[in-house]
Amino acid sequence: MSYPPPSGGWHDPSAPGQQSTPPADPTLPIGGNPVPAQAGPADPYAGYQFDFAQPTAGPYAAGGYPPPGYPMPGYQPSPPQNGLAIAAMVVSIVGALGLCGYGLGGYIGVAGAILGHVSRKQIRERGESGEGFAMAGIIVGWISTAIAVLATIALVIFFVWLSKQPTSSFDNSGY
């Protein structure tokens, strides 16, 4: 039987006039001609120079990366973060959490709001990042301060009202 079978269906290989062909060798390149033998294994890195201190051609041709310590082309590092902006946000959140203590802990938010204003000024002058942290500190700080003021007013009104209530005497002598 020939490989692959001829078109037209099955045929008898022992029939006169038909010749059987061996299967193709899958290790041969297309065309069926063998590759001439080499003296040793082929070097897959032939033609490349791996000197990372000095690229051979083009921008960083040695491996596509710049030498250590140099930024990638087109990459701009972000400006430094303003630490005061982060502190403003943290202090304001602590002030908002302080509202749970009868609302009086919210006065800490004043410090967070002031830190936020100072950090926004520094961000504009120095070109730093952290504008969102500073704004969050300002907003949360002033809101917690306003709630603390309202809680203080409510507590004062409550204690004034409580002081004007008639007292009842608990006398146990009648028993």
Q: Is the pLDDT of residue 140 over 90?
A: yes
Q: Is the pLDDT of residue 68 over 80?
A: no
- Within 10 Å of residue 119's Cβ, how many Cβ atoms? 26
* pLDDT category of residue 9 using cuts at 50, 70 and 90: low
| DSSP assignment string, 44-100 | TTTT----TTS-SSTTTTTTSSPPTTSPPTT--PPPPBPHHHHHHHHHHHHHHHGGG
Q: Is the pLDDT of residue 7 over 80?
A: no
Half-sphere CA count of 149, side-chain side, radius 13 A: 7
Handedness of CA 150, 155, 158, 163 (dihedral sign): negative
Q: Is the pLDDT of residue 18 over 90?
A: no
Q: Is the pLDDT of residue 86 over 90?
A: yes
Rounded distance between C-alpha atoms, residue 75 and residue 70, angstroms:
10
pLDDT of residue 102: 82
Q: Is the pLDDT of residue 130 over 60?
A: yes
Q: What is the mean pLDDT of residues 45-51?
A: 59
Q: Is the pLDDT of residue 33 over 90?
A: no
pTM of the model: 0.54
